[in-house]
Structure 1
């Protein structure tokens, strides 16, 4: 291995949960140290996550970042140090109306969460919802009706399932009845309805172009299907070793499991 210490990419774009962050919500220490080494060498680190501003901020601060963050699986790019929104997409009014009409007929054990105004809203309470809120370190705001939310400010809808077996029928139902959304699986029990064309990859392309950074000079790493477009957009796409099979099959390289320092493995490849 080369010992030159010369970076081979300018940016590393990393997913959070299951990639940089363990199931206990802690950043994997070797990966944190490696990213700091990459930044000390002049590299830029970008966080790309399905999380909201509030849920992503602790990790952004722990990394000491001042860069834009790709949030809501690509529906927004936000400077978390100032709260400035740099890139924004919302669900269309018609799509939101179709979703709300469908919520009542979803399979039992599927719980909708709508993101608007920087908050996560739900009509319900369930163990799956409580687990989701705990995992993301966020508060779910209970509302009386979906009509309480502004029609033109729905960033995304999460469908939290009690069991992975509910994902296929739920996705089939949405695909057949709702137009103008991008459907993506971010966990084995999380299905997301995003604005059309909103992906981490689309947001990365937009952000890189705005900063005059070539995609060939970017490495990206993730573990779940919502990361696919991002790792395919980057010049070097890496998959976490214990991530989804579809992501591992599409990646340029497969690194170690999250808890063993997947991101540190990637840094070792691009900063020998």
Structure 2
């Protein structure tokens, strides 16, 4: 099949990755087939570029990707960044200081353009959270001040995150930042107006993508704007109900090679 008019953007966790955070052989082979047919493939993830890459051995990526939930676009072939959007550091610092002082049980990750900073004490780090957000550096808040901040990620049980969210509302943090739950235990703060869909809209204007039909596939709340911006929107079977309702097409679940099903079974019918 000729895919020369298509660009496919896939979410990672819950979509391209299975429950063991692996990419199936079927998905890798399907993506190679898609690219060989002229298609462009990029990821669309909340993860930082190098953190995402560690999960994608053998996965071909041949165009721009949406990373950090839309805070920037990244081109893996050249290491080039486009459309970066930065958090207001004063308000972000207020939020971080309050969390670190009042909610020490929260794991705090600060994302800059090139580095991940783990701000919580190392002895309080959740092993799974830490293992899945590498490479990162343990540091204090002051050491990170000289870098531009693109995203804050807080990991904790939902009731604690809701307390954090309430403080942010009460102290006008949300006047200059947006927040989104990216899993039941992850709460992220992004620059105002930033989401995956906005970044995908920015990418449309680039020569390499101009004129292509954008295909997007995802599973969670942070994928809703991405699906709304896409010309062809797809939800995996394990997606949240509101994500499935927002999608034009539905595919199998993440553990059944959803990307392969999309490429071989859905795209030929469109």
Compute the TM-score of the two structures, normalised by the length of structure 2: 0.88
Instruction: Say whether 1:158 aligns with 2:153.
Output: yes
Mean alpha-carbon deviation: is it higher for 218-227 or for 205-214?
205-214
Name the counterpart of 1:54. 50
Q: Which runs of 5+ in 2 are unaligned?
A: none
2:23 to 5, 27, 36: 27
User: After TM superposition, where is structure 1 displaced by more than 6 Å over at least 4 residues in a row?
Assistant: none
2:129 to 122, 132, 149: 132
Name the counterpart of 2:109. 113
Within 5 Å, give how 1:75-154 maps onto structure 2. 75-104=71-100, 107=103, 109-116=105-112, 118-121=114-117, 122-125=119-122, 129-136=126-133, 138-143=134-139, 145-150=140-145, 153-154=148-149
Compared CA separation, residues 175 and 271, structure 1 to 2 (3 A): farther
CA distance in 2, matches of 1:214, 1:182: 30
Conserved? CA contact 2:42–2:62, under 8 Å: no
Conserved? CA contact 2:158–2:184, under 8 Å: yes
Instruction: Say whether 1:171 aligns with 2:165.
Output: yes
- Pairs aligned (count): 264
Conserved? CA contact 2:105–2:124, under 8 Å: no
Compared CA separation, residues 131 and 59, structure 1 to 2 (3 A): closer
Conserved? CA contact 2:46–2:68, under 8 Å: yes
Within 5 Å, give how 1:30-45 maps onto structure 2. 30-45=26-41
Q: Which runs of 5+ in 1 are unaligned?
A: none
Instruction: Say whether 1:226 aligns with 2:222.
Output: yes
Instruction: Note the C-alpha offset of 1:153.
Output: 0.5
Conserved? CA contact 1:11–1:43, under 8 Å: yes
Aligned residue for 2:145, secondary structure, equals coil
* Alignment RMSD (CA, Å): 2.3
Mean alpha-carbon deviation: is it higher for 126-135 or for 237-246?
126-135
Instruction: Note the C-alpha offset of 1:61.
Output: 5.5
Conserved? CA contact 2:70–2:198, under 8 Å: yes
CA distance in 1, matches of 2:200, 2:89: 25
Mean alpha-carbon deviation: is it higher for 126-135 or for 253-262?
126-135
Compared CA separation, residues 167 and 150, structure 1 to 2 (3 A): closer
